[in-house]
Chains A and B, each alone.
Chain A
Amino acid sequence: MIGLVIIAAIAALAFAAINFYGMKRKDPGNEEMQTIAEAIQEGAGAFLRLEYSIIAKVVVLIAVILLVVVSWTGAVSFVIGALMSASAGWIGMNIATISNVRVSNEARTTRSIGKTLRVAFQGGSVMGLCVGGFALLGLVIVYLVFGVLMKQATPEHLVFHKNWLGISDIPFTMTVSSYALGCSIIAMFNRVGGGIYTKAADMGADLVGKTEAGIPEDDPRNPATIADNVGDNVGDVAGLGSDLLESYVGALVSATILAAYTYFANQHADILITTSLISKLIYLPLIIAAVGLISSMVGILFLLVKKVSKDPHKELNMATFVGAGLTIISSGVAVYLTLKGENVAAIGFNLGALSPWVCAVLGIVSGIVIGQLAEYYTSYDYKPTQKIAASSQEGAALTITQGMSVGMISVIAPVLILGICIIAANSVAGLYGVAMAAIGMLSFVTVTVSVDTYGPIADNAGGISEMAKLHPEVREITDELDAVGNTTAAIGKGFAIGSAALAALSLFASYLYAQAGESASNGIELILNMVNTLTLVGALVGAALPYLFSGILIEAVANAARKMVQEVRRQFKADPGIIQGTSKPDYKTCISISSAGALKEMKFPALLSVATPLVTGFLFGAEFVGGLLIGTTLSSIMLALYTANAGGAWDNGKKYIEHGHFGGKGSDAHKAAVVGDTVGDPLKDTVGPSLDILIKIMSIISLISVSIFSKYNLFSFLFK
């Protein structure tokens, strides 16, 4: 079966390469368009190079720590994970900056929304295929080299080993956790750095250009407009890609780790579990990922070859549903063929060989429902967002109040869906089932990332069409595609949060196994005792942590945006020719401000997420960190849903008014809605996505280090 996984990964990357070069061969349009596109490409490339140079140092540092404290296999896996994630982000960002101008040109030459949609989706598909392909390729390398060749994944090696520091762990769980950590580190920096960049540029461009000078969106006279378009690529493409790659890997790895710990615990508790079954449970996540990847490729191909209608939302949904539908069917076959004949009842699989598949389907269905709920709360086709628009008639204060209300109310339904999914999956296949639900939700991530990446590409294409002053019909086509992209982004965020929650829960269960250590062999109950004051205080601190993290991020965006506002004002004042259209603005200075702001401000929140479980672990021990993880996970899920949905609803509330409701553009309602949108910008595009990564990175760091701080911590040293 591993052959299928290798073929799927290579096929995805080959498909990505075909689409990449196919896109490059397309006509990039006239000279004006190419000049604008080059400026965006240059700015995005420069930022990512600077960002990666900082990340590289952090990666080397962590690799050395893993090498010394855990194992060399962990260090190498970590570097592989970081490389895979960074590659996906880099290629995705590159294809987005190549595609944007070609999408604009397709609209210019064909005046067809369907054909333009196809080109935008082709660009997005490169990112989607790279996410699926690189994630799986890296995992296959880790499985083959460390699991098969070094036999870490063979059942007889799924036991606790002591390293030179006297710290014991199951080597294969550490190896795959380290791989996931590599992906998480890149995701955290890309999301936080990209999120700060994109919103600083966006807010700077809007606050002075649109509000003060009265110039329209994406007007080339606005000095921050190129930085704004660069931000779409570094934040919404590179950030989003590495974020979902990390979620995908986190889900796959959590199932593998759980299988290993389950085997170890059950084996020593005299529960009959065969070596053949445990091998299959360890490889099953990869197999489901492989068939999901192949199904996603079919979904992508479906949209690329068919005659595309004039309804972009329907077409994108169709590609997603084809991918999801085929994944359900193919994963059912794959799971059945893998587990048939095994005594799965012995490990608590209550629906026979298809138990993991049922859980995966639960995850897929939950993901789709959560996505639809996100759409309901954030799309202006529905009441919640329309109510925000209506409230704007009474001023900015009520816009904010109504948006907060929508955001808060929107939390309960997806949480209930997640709760039902978790309970059902656990009933069908235990904690392994919960991990399978996370995998199911992300099994067609390739097609969902393709759809998500299409959004910023269309957004950029709209910017280029505007700046190059293309025919209104062209701008209307790219605007319509951009509007659909906003909806797909909201749905994508729902998926990201839901899958992060499930993956974090699985990783948390693994944490408890790891905390129990070799005593798990006695059939230990996995209990987190909330009456234990260390655990309780850990939970309290953990619940507060996302607020601290979010506050730092919002302040970071505000700091960078403030500098951008000052620069745009300075340029307008220093050279009146800019606004008169007789001289060109200094785009590069604005790009530098966003870059410098993002690079400076991203370090602290990123390091906070890595350092908190380590520092608290070495101070207060594993029970405190257990509470910390629960607190952070619960609080982050709520806050991420709230910020993503409130921000999305504020944004689309403004758009609803701009479409000619409640007075439309220029009305008092519009002014109030612009305030709401600006408040929501850093919430939905910086805070929300970064919280997804926060909970996973903390879970993985804790999982890797629990065996160390269980043994060495200040609290134990002083009081026990």
Chain B
Amino acid sequence: MIHYYFIFSPNEALIASQLGPKEFGMYMAQGSKKGAAEQLMFSEISGGFGDHFDWAYAEENCINHSDGRPKHSLYLSIYRVLEHIPLDAFMMTYLVTKDGRTLSLDQEKYSSPANWTGFALYKELCPVPPLIVSSLQPKELGQHIVGGSAKKITVPALIFTDIQVIDFEDMENSGNVGRMYDRNLDHLKECIASLESGKGKKTKTVDRSFNSKFSYQIIDNGIYVVKGEEIIFFRMPSHEVLRETAYDWARSANIF
């Protein structure tokens, strides 16, 4: 059976594979010979849509090796992938830790964040990776960037996540948030203050390339995918749910 995996972080790629999602995540994170150790995020998508990707090539070449081993990866595209995938092709999303453990996120109907405080930190994941702060809620932010109202700052489709905001006055009790707030906190505070004043822009870039500081510990509600007017949402499980159902993954992700 061929699975189609769309890796959206750290780089875009559409890959056909005979591995199941967990095996694929392990293979991509750890490799087979390179000795690599890399965190990555991907979604499984249903293949066969449109004519941008060469599905026939995948069917023909994603087959067992001569010794019977399954084909691990067959790259179908590594450039401008997201914009060619319709939202209804998205199935599950997977978060893979550096040591290859995989957490699956279910798709849910989008609803406004219950914990909305007037602004949010967003980490854009694909196709561009900045950290931004915005007074827009996730759906509005996505439509703002994808829909073109952000003028020159626009992309055809966008994957992003919202980030936990901690109490900046009590850094000692930050919780397990990793490297997120290690540097340039003053700049972040200025960006937030500028938004809260209501006089400036609706979004401000905090950091142009934020990948090295991003960790699963700081995902707040979940991961959003926006294209056109539509949005789909993959909810991040609560700590209680992770503790019961994905404890080992959460330990590898430094959540516990």
Contact = CB atoms under 8 A, between A and B. Distances in A.
B205 interface: no
B51 interface: no
Contacts of A662: 171-172, 174
The CB with the most chain B CB atoms within 10 A, among A212, A475, A658, A666, is that of A666
Contact of A472 (B98, B215, B247): B247
B166 to A, nearest CB: 9
Interface in B96-118: 97-100
A667 B179 contact: yes
Contacts of B181: 663
Interface string A581-613: 100000000000000000000000000000000
A662 to B, nearest CB: 6
A212 B37 CA distance: 8
A221 B252 CA distance: 12
Contact of A665 (B32, B173, B176, B244): B176
Interface string B223-256: 0000000000000000000011001100110101
B87 interface: no
B26 interface: yes
Nearest to A222: B99
Interface string A468-481: 01001001000000
Interface string B17-42: 00000000011001111010100000
A465 to B, nearest CB: 11
A35 B215 CA distance: 35
B182 interface: yes
B92 to A, nearest CB: 21
A26 interface: no
Given A214-B252, A579-B30, A666 B179 contact: yes
The CB with the most chain A CB atoms within 10 A, among B100, B181, B215, is that of B100
Given A216-B251, A469-B248, A665 B178 contact: yes
Contact of B182 (A219, A469, A581, A668): A668
Interface string A653-676: 000001011111111110000000
A580 B176 contact: no
A472 B244 CA distance: 7
Contacts of A669: 182
Interface string A609-623: 000000000000000
A573 interface: yes
Given A662-B174, A663-B174, A214 B37 contact: yes
A214 to B, nearest CB: 3
B177 A663 contact: yes
A572 interface: yes
A390 B172 contact: yes
Contacts of B251: 216
A470 to B, nearest CB: 10
Nearest to B251: A216
B68 interface: no
B254 A666 contact: yes
The CB with the most chain A CB atoms within 10 A, among B171, B174, B176, B256, is that of B176
A714 interface: no
B165 interface: no
A400 to B, nearest CB: 19
A661 B247 contact: no
B217 interface: yes
A663 B244 contact: no
Interface residues of B, number: 35
B97 A664 contact: no
A393 B182 contact: yes
Given A215-B99, A390-B172, A572-B35, A665 B254 contact: yes
Contacts of A393: 182
B181 to A, nearest CB: 6
B138 to A, nearest CB: 25
B215 A666 contact: yes
A663 B213 CA distance: 11
A152 to B, nearest CB: 61
B217 A664 contact: yes
A660 B173 contact: yes
Given A214-B97, A662-B172, A663-B178, A576 B30 contact: yes
A530 interface: no
A211 B101 CA distance: 16
A474 to B, nearest CB: 11
B37 A663 contact: no
Chain A interface helix/strand/loop/mixed: loop
A664 B176 contact: yes
Interface in A464-506: 469, 472, 475
A213 interface: yes
B128 interface: no
A213 B172 contact: no
B56 to A, nearest CB: 31
Interface in B29-85: 30-33, 35, 37
B180 interface: yes
A279 B181 CA distance: 70
A579 B33 CA distance: 12
A580 B171 contact: no
B179 A668 contact: yes
A469 B243 CA distance: 13
B175 interface: yes
Given A472-B244, A576-B30, A579-B30, A666 B176 contact: yes
Contact of B177 (A221, A573, A658, A667): A667
Contacts of B182: 393, 663, 667-669
A224 to B, nearest CB: 15
Contacts of B31: 576
Contacts of A386: 172
A386 B33 CA distance: 42
Contact of A215 (B175, B177, B252): B252
Contacts of A216: 99, 248, 251-252
Interface in A657-698: 658, 660-669
A413 to B, nearest CB: 26
Interface string A536-578: 0000000000000000000000000000000000001100100
Contacts of A666: 176, 178-179, 215, 217, 254
Contacts of A475: 247
A579 B31 CA distance: 10
The CB with the most chain B CB atoms within 10 A, among A214, A573, A665, is that of A214
Interface in B199-228: 215, 217
Interface in A352-395: 386, 390, 393
Contacts of B243: 472
A469 B172 CA distance: 32
Given A213-B37, A667-B179, 14 more contacts: A216-B251, A216-B252, A393-B182, A472-B243, A472-B256, A573-B35, A576-B30, A579-B99, A661-B172, A661-B173, A662-B174, A663-B174, A664-B254, A668-B179
Closest 4 CB pairs of A and B: A664-B176, A214-B98, A666-B178, A665-B254
Interface of A: 212-216, 219, 221, 386, 390, 393, 469, 472, 475, 572-573, 576, 579-581, 658, 660-669
Interface of B: 26-27, 30-33, 35, 37, 97-100, 171-183, 215, 217, 243-244, 247-248, 251-252, 254, 256
13 contacts: A393-B182, A576-B33, A579-B30, A580-B30, A660-B174, A661-B172, A661-B174, A663-B179, A663-B181, A666-B176, A666-B178, A666-B179, A667-B177
